[in-house]
A and B are shown apart, each in its own frame.
Chain A
Amino acid sequence: MSEVQGFLDRLSERAAARGAEPTWIAARRQAGAARFEALGFPDRKVEAWKYTDVRGIARGDFALAESADFSPASAAALTLPIAAHRLSFVDGVFAPALSDLGELSAGVSVERLSQALAANHEAVGGALGRLAGVDFSPFTALNTAFAEEGAVIRLAPGAVVERPIVLQFLSSAGATPRMSHPRVLVTAGARSQATLIEHQVGEEGAANFSNLVSEVLLERGAILTHYKLQELPQTDHHIASLHVDQARDSRFTSFNLNLGGALARNDIVSDLNGQGAEANFFGLFFGQGRQLLDTHTLVNHNAPLTFSNENYKGILDDRARGIFNGKVIVKRDSQKIEAHQNNANLLLSDRAEIDTKPELEIYADDVKCSHGATTGQLDEEAVFALRARGIDEATARGLLTLAFAGEVMEQVAIDAVAERVELAVAGKLPERFNLAGLVEAAVALHEE
């Protein structure tokens, strides 16, 4: 309980420093704090946290960041080298120097949360928290209590954003560990289209705690592609939940790519509320050392004729632990549903562990649902086949590991993102092995 109290103390310190806020915001913080106090940090008896020990967060003494200082050189190295509309935050604090929104087309608005609330608090405040209630988890409650900064993205009906919108969350290696509770809200009007990238990355040695909550509302026919690229240092703690509400004919595609963090937990929830709505979840987690990477996904088929498709790949080395829990719920009378789910895992070390649970809860009969989960190791015959062609063992294993990830990675449309992941996964390949060259050659061959 004292662990909870530590966080509540931080909250009241912050409230005193912040001064007066509109009453409705204060009331929400109150509700979040009360819920967090009631729930406490989840222990292993809570089914959703059965395999994930959050004591590393609960026992940590995290301060709230006051400034967004970050070395420009290391920021430049960490930033994704793509043309984008970019907002950057350092430990949750907005970093104007590292942000560049550029030219936004008509009907598109990308703002900081604090700015958006000040300018139009009714429109923004009404949508905020609609999907991610304080009951979802103690961490969403905590986020609701603390959230001050983040991003609000609004797309008018028919608006199309050509370049990706990048939200860059940097974690700094300061003297004391810090925590941040960013909040993201996306409202996409009818037939609008955009690509959003949430990029978590940090300096070597950073040992912070970030607790992100994102809410995405897709109106009729809206199309959103969401990338999450999490490359935090292996000392960082990261919790995130992404909540999506999908109206008729909308399409949501998620790429959840997790490489970093001592502990990283991602919850993705999509509510398919209108006919023709479609959700595609792709994911990859690659754990090394003593990392713990946990993903929970939930698709609610609340309307007939809705479709979901999910493919997650897990690769675990050393003493890493991976957790995958994918759940599909088909509501009564949601007929003509198709829902498919697949989770394949590769264990590279005897001390690595994977706990996977693909769940189906189905209350309608005219459905086609399937799920599969496999765990295995590299095919020794494939390793042999490569070695027989003069490729050394380490390279052969690296290549095959990469090939295992291929099914998910080939769906990734942004090269800079794919490269980061592939380099991390095949990082053990020797220098002389020119991966990019090989890919180019393969592409050339394919085009012939």
Chain B
Amino acid sequence: MASEEMEQLVRRDYKQGFVTDIESDTVPPGLDEGTIAFISQKKGEPEWMLEWRLKAYHQWLKMTPPSWAHLDYPPIDYQAISYYSAPKKPEDRPQSLDEVDPKLLETYEKLGIPLHERAALAGVAVDAVFDSVSVTTTFKEKLAEAGVIFCSISEAIREHPELVKQYLGTVVPTSDNYFAALNSAVFTDGSFVFVPEGVTCPMELSTYFRINAANTGQFERTLIVCESRAQVSYLEGCTAPQRDENQLHAAVVELVALEDAYIKYSTVQNWYPGDEDGKGGIYNFVTKRGDCRGDRSRISWTQVETGSAITWKYPSCVLRGKDSIGEFYSVAVTNGRQQADTGTKMIHLGEGSRSSIISKGISAGRSNQAYRGLVKVGPRAKGARNFTQCDSLLIGDQCGAHTFPYQEIGNATATVEHEATTSKIGEDQLFYCQSRGISEEDAVSMIVNGFCKDVFQELPMEFAVEAEALLNVTLEGAVG
């Protein structure tokens, strides 16, 4: 790859970098019991929720940030962050899209997400999160007809406390890790999905998260529960405006699948990665875990990670049920000075549980990327099966690609396979394409897309198109 093209790649601008000027109701930076009480009160939460938050806060105080990841960043000052920000006048929240602040709609427009159009055309219900408060929820009625609950977590805490109480924190306990504890104490929004027994959710559910007000970390909490024989496909997409300060993002996602249930969770993450010197950019510390609680349940994670300055994310599956299935499909692209330490954990506890992991990493510029995975087979997981394939593609000689796969196998009937390769785009492959009249840029794009095919084909249709476009944008310049 010619060096000026590399230059171009590094200098590419963040297309979604802009700031929407909406007055925010922001709490001053700092974190103590008062902040948590403020958040809880703002959200109109019951007493037990505040207690739950405070318990998490006290656990967090005793914990230290993890240092094992292959990441390099200055220590985060948790007292310099503002933990609550909401668009003004939360009480008269718009009831439909027409009532939504036109400025907000404009923001989505710029993002290329024409909310109403998209919702109508694609049949997707959108629970758009602007900063920390759910602004609008569409298609609620259609979902209600099917008996599906899809609302913000704050609303769920108020409207469906018994469900939230039953499942919240059962997959990711408050003391699970440093960032999960922090999230449990201060989470401000996120989605709640409940699909009752035997129901297949009539449409794909989607939430677009967007961090807006400067200095505000976003701590969303998502909980998805599928009862027996229920099914849901959930889409999460992210993008954030350009900022100079690093923005902390520590989300927790919990999935619960009971007997024969199927949850498909797809993510496209395109947050601001920082400028060419690595300045700014989102710090993304996410705990995502699915619990295949019931027999024959299935949880599938698909992620396309192109953004954030730092990504620390390991969507995992606890395969508790007999013959349960866990899947992880990931494409991670890093460029500039981005750092990503991502992967998955498959914990096989149930007999006959199966999991597959397909991870594709592409590093360019001066970025560093690590796949970190764990496949653990417990003594009772008779006949457990895992297949892992993780491939890395290197573009340029200043980047790094690393693989840290852990296998802990405690069962003689388990079959576990791991394969990994690291290479660059073959000169012969490029030559082959170019000799057939395909430009270098198109050839690289084609090869990279082919490299990611196994993952893209797991994405829902609209996401797959978006993901391919995103990949091309991210590698623009590098690929030509």
Q: Which residues of A contact B (CB under 8 A)?
A: 47, 332-333, 335, 345, 347-377
Contacts and interface: CB of A to CB of B under 8 A. Distances in A.
Contact of A369 (B413, B415, B418, B423): B423
Interface stretch (B260-268, B401-409, B463-471): B401-409
Contacts of B399: 363, 365
Interface stretch (B14-22, B145-153, B207-215, B389-397): B389-397
Contact of A370 (B397, B417, B421): B421
Contacts of A375: 407, 409, 414-416
A303 B416 CA distance: 34
Contact of B421 (A47, A354, A369): A369
A372 B397 contact: no
B423 A353 contact: no
Interface in B362-420: 379, 392, 394-420
A360 B401 contact: yes
Nearest to B364: A365
Is the interface on chain B under 10, 10 to 19, 20 to 34, or 35 or more residues?
Answer: 35 or more
Contacts of A373: 405, 407, 416-418
Nearest to B406: A357
A362 B367 CA distance: 12
Contacts of A332: 397-398
9 contacts: A350-B412, A351-B410, A354-B409, A355-B408, A358-B418, A358-B420, A359-B403, A360-B422, A375-B409
B398 to A, nearest CB: 7
Contact of A362 (B68, B394, B396, B410): B394
B411 A372 contact: no
Given A362-B392, A365-B424, A347 B414 contact: yes
A225 to B, nearest CB: 28
Interface of B: 68, 70, 379, 392, 394-424
B365 to A, nearest CB: 11
Q: Point out which of A335, A360, A365, A376 has the most chain B C-beta atoms below 10 A from its C-beta.
A: A365
A372 B422 contact: no
Contact of B410 (A333, A353, A367, A369): A353
B420 A370 contact: yes
A362 B414 contact: no
B416 A367 contact: no
Contacts of A364: 394, 397
Nearest to A349: B412
B422 A377 contact: no
Given A332-B397, A345-B409, A372 B424 contact: no
Nearest to B413: A377
Contacts of B403: 358-360, 371
B419 A372 contact: yes
Contact of B405 (A349, A353, A358, A363): A358
A376 B405 contact: no
A360 B68 CA distance: 16
B308 to A, nearest CB: 21
Given A358-B418, A360-B420, A365 B409 contact: no
B408 A353 contact: yes
Given A374-B416, A376-B414, A377-B415, A356 B407 contact: yes
A47 B400 contact: no
A313 to B, nearest CB: 15
A47 B397 contact: no
B418 A361 contact: no
Contacts of A359: 402-405
Nearest to A317: B412
Contact of A363 (B68, B379, B400, B423): B400
B395 A365 contact: yes
Contacts of B415: 374-377
Contacts of B424: 365-367
A335 B423 CA distance: 11
Contact of B379 (A345, A351, A354, A376): A351
Nearest to B392: A362
Contacts of A353: 408-410
Q: Point out which of B399, B403, B410, B417 has the most chain A C-beta atoms below 10 A from its C-beta.
A: B403
A415 B369 CA distance: 45
